[in-house]
Amino acid sequence: MTTVILAEKPSQARSYVQAFQKSTKKQGYYTVSDPVLPENTLVTYGLGHLVELATPDKYDQKYQQWALSNLPIFPNKYKFIVPTDKKKQFKVVKDLLTKADTIIVATDSDREGENIAWSIMNQAKINLKSKTIKRLWINSLEKDAILDGFKNLKDGWAYYPAYKEAQTRQISDWLVGMNGSPLYTLLLKQSGVRGVYSIGRVQTPTLYMVYQRDQAIKNFKPEPYFELNAEILANQQKFVAKLDPYQRFKDEAGLITFMQAKHVQKGSQAGLIKDVQKQDKKRASPQLFSLSSLQSEINKRYHASASDTLQAVQNLYEAKLLTYPRTDSNYITEQEFNYLVENLNGYLGFLSKDVSLNHQEPNKRYVNGKKVQEHHAIIMTKTVPTQEKLSKFPALEQRIYNLVLRTTLAMFADPYEYEETVILTSVGDAIFKATGNVPKNQGWKILFSDYKTEKQEEETTLPLVEVGQSISANLAPDQKMTKPPAPFTEGTLITAMKTAGKTLDDEEAQSILKDNEGIGTEATRANVLDVLKKRGYLLTEKNKLHVSQQGITLCKAVELEPLLTSPEMTAKWEKALKQISAKERTQENFLEQIKKFVAKLIADVPTQLTGSAAIKQQIDHQQQAQKAAEVFLETPQATVLNKQKFYIVKSKQGEDFTLPKKWSSKTLGKTAIKALVTKGETSKLKGFKSKKGKSFDAKLKLDGHKLSFDFD
C-alpha cells in the first residue's frame, strides 16, 4: 500500500519532510517515515500550477492572430496543458499518483490549493474513484502543527466542490479575458489607438474605481467656507472651541447674519462656562490582522506594495514564524488563544518596555470560533525567534513580524483608558464646545510607544474650570476651502476592494459582497494590482495610485458597458460561484450565463464605441500623448524619437537613420545622443566593455550614419 502526499511547491514539501523522523531525497520527491504516517509514504510536489488552461491557439491555429471575425471563442470542452518547463516534474507526480493507493492533498489550505491539486490529479488521468483521498488542513508549517494535521486528516472528497468553484472561476475569467481583450483591443485599434487592452472580471472594476477617484479629484472645484471658532482664555490657559452644534457658512454674509442673531462679534468678549462634562472612557486594542488589513496598514506605514507585503508574510509563514497568510478573518479560535498564552513570555522578549498582559481570558472581539471559516487571523506561531535570528530577515519582514506581534499581544493588555472632558462655553447666545482627553492608563498603547512608525495622537489638555466661571473669548472667523477626495494608495485601494459592497445601492448585491469580502479575494487582490501596474494602466507616484492615459482610454471604453465596471457584476458572479461550492448550481449552468454575457459584449460594444464622443476625444488625447512621449530629443538638426530598442533620428535635412541605445555594454543617454546629432561626435566616454569584458574609454563618432569608436 503506497501513500503519496501532494504538496503545492518544493518549499512546502520540505517543511513537511523536516517534520518527519526520516526522509530520503529523490528526483522530484522524497521517501519519508514517521509514526503519524502509513508505511511506504512518499512526498511529491507541484511547482505551483503544474496544469494551466490552454490558450485559444491550442484549440485552433486561426486564433494565433486576433480577429473580430473569430469572436466569440467558446470551446465545447476546455483544454488543460502542462507548460513545457514543468513537464518533467509533472511526469514524476503523475507516475507516483498512478501507483498510489492513498493520496493526501497537502497543497495550500484554500480553494486555489484545491484547484492546483485536483487539476494535477485530473490531468494525470488516474482513476480517482479507486483511490482513497485525504486532505491535510493546517494553519502553520511548524512541526507540531504538521504532525497534528497528519494525525487528523479530513476526507478529501469533502473539498471537491471547492475545486469545482475555483475551476469555474478560472474558466469564466478565461472566457471574459480571451473574448473581451481582443474585442476592445481590435476595436480601439480601428480608431487609431495602439496597445493591448486587457479585460478582466476583477481587474476592470478595480481600475475603474481608481479612474473614478481620479476624475472626482480632477473635476473638483474648491469652494470657500467659513467656520466660527473661539479662542478661550480661562485661568491663564488658552484652548480652542468650535460652534456647537457645528456649522459652516458658505459666505461671510451668512456668518455675519448668524453672529448678529447670536449677539456675538469678532474679537475679544466676555463669556461663561456653561457646562463641564467628565467621562471615563476605554478604547479596545485594534482587531487582529486579515491579509487585507495587514496589507493596508503596512502600505500606510511603510509604503510597501500589496504584493511585497504578501510575499513577505508568505516568507514568514514558510519560516514558521507567522500563521497562514491568505486569510480574510480577523478572529482566532480558543485553540490559538491558548498557545499564545503559553508563549507570552517568549513574545515579550521583543519589547523594550514593560507591559502588563493581564487579560488572559478569551475576548469575543478577538476570539470567536464561529467567525473563523477556513483560516484564522494572522498571528505568531509557537516558534519564537531570537532577536538575533529575526534581525537576519529583510527589513520589511522584520517590520511585519513586529507589527503582527504587537497587535496580537495588545489583546492581552489593558484597554487604553482616558478621561474625556467636554467644556461648553456660552458667548452671547452662541455655544462653543471643546473636547480634551487626559490619559489615565496607556494600556495596550504602551506596546506601540517605542514603535517609531506609530503616529502618536495629540491629546488636547483642557484647564480646570467651573460652571458659571467668567472667561474671555476671542472669536475669529476662519476661512477655509473644501478639499478634494484623497487619491487611492495601494493600502486604501485594497480596503476599497474588500468593502466594495458599501458602494452599492442594491441590498442583495451588498449582502453578497459583504459575504464574499468585496472585489477579488485575499489571495488575488495583490496580483490584480500587480497586473494593472505591469500593463501600464496604473501608475504609482509617491505611494499614490493614478490611471495612465492608456488606462483612461480603457475606462472610457468600458464605462459604456456598466456590468464591466461595477462591483455588481462581481457580486452576482460570486453568488453563483458560491452556489457551485454548495452544490446548488452546476458549473455548466454558470458558464452558460457567462457565455451570454460575453455574447452581449460582442454584439453591443462595436456600436457603443463608434457612437461615443467621449471615447473619440480620449483617443485624440492619447494619440497626442503617444507622439509627445516618443520625442526623446529636439535639436536644430533633427528630432530624435525614442523606440523600445533604439532611437530614430529624423533629420531635418537628409535621410532618417537609427542610433543604438547601448554600445559595447554602455547605455547612451541624452548627452551622448545630442552630441552625436549636433556635432557628429562625443567627448571621451567611460564605461565601454570589450568582448572579453575589459573596460575602456573612447569617443564615439558618426561617419555618415555609421557609429564607430575614436581612440584619438
Closest CA to 524 of 181, 203, 80, 301: 203
Residue listed under C-alpha cell 451668512: 254
The DSSP annotation for 585-612 comes to S-HHHHHHHHHHHHHHHHHHHHHHHHT-
Record the cell numbers describing residue 679, joined without a space.
556635432
Rounded to whole angstroms, the Cα distance separating 374 from 333 reads 12
Q: Which residues pair with 662 in a beta bridge?
A: 667
Q: Please tell me the number of Cα atoms within 13 Å of 143 on its side-chain side.
A: 7
Rounded to whole angstroms, the Cα distance separating 365 from 359 reads 13
Record the cell numbers describing residue 181, joined without a space.
481583450
**What are the start-end ranges of the H helices in 86-202?**
87-99, 111-123, 143-151, 160-190
β-pairing verdict for 638-642 and 631-634: antiparallel
Rounded to whole angstroms, the Cα distance separating 40 from 216 reads 64
Asked whether 516 and 568 are in contact (CB, 8 A), the reply is no
Describe the chain by its helix, strand, coil percentages, rounded to 5.
45, 25, 35
Rounded to whole angstroms, the Cα distance separating 520 from 679 reads 56
Closest CA to 473 of 532, 403, 425: 425
SS (H, E, C) 477-536: EEEEECCCCCCCCHHHHHHHHHCHHHHCCCHHHHHHHHHCCCCCCCCCHHHHHHHHHHCC
Backbone angles phi, psi at 227, to 5 degrees: -115, 155
Active site residue 366: no
Backbone angles phi, psi at 542, to 5 degrees: 50, 45
Asked whether 297 and 399 are in contact (CB, 8 A), the reply is no
Rounded to whole angstroms, the Cα distance separating 644 from 540 reads 22
Q: Residue 693: helix, strand or coil by DSSP?
A: coil
Burial of 382 (0-12, 13-18, 19+ CB in 10 A): middle
Task: Give the number of residues written for the chain.
Answer: 712
The DSSP annotation for 433-481 comes to EEEEEEEEE-GGGHHHHT-TTS-PPPPPPPPP--TT-EEEEEEEEEEEE
Q: Residue 39: helix, strand or coil by DSSP?
A: coil
Identify the active-site residue in 184, 197, 324, 331. 324
Q: What angle do CA 545, 548, 554 make, to 5 degrees?
A: 115
CB proximity list for 452: less than 8 A, separation 6 or greater: none
Record the cell numbers describing residue 709, joined without a space.
569608436
Residue listed under C-alpha cell 535621410: 655
Residue listed under C-alpha cell 490531468: 123
Record the cell numbers describing residue 461, joined without a space.
489638555
**Would you please indicate which residues are annotated as catalytic (active-site) residues?**
324
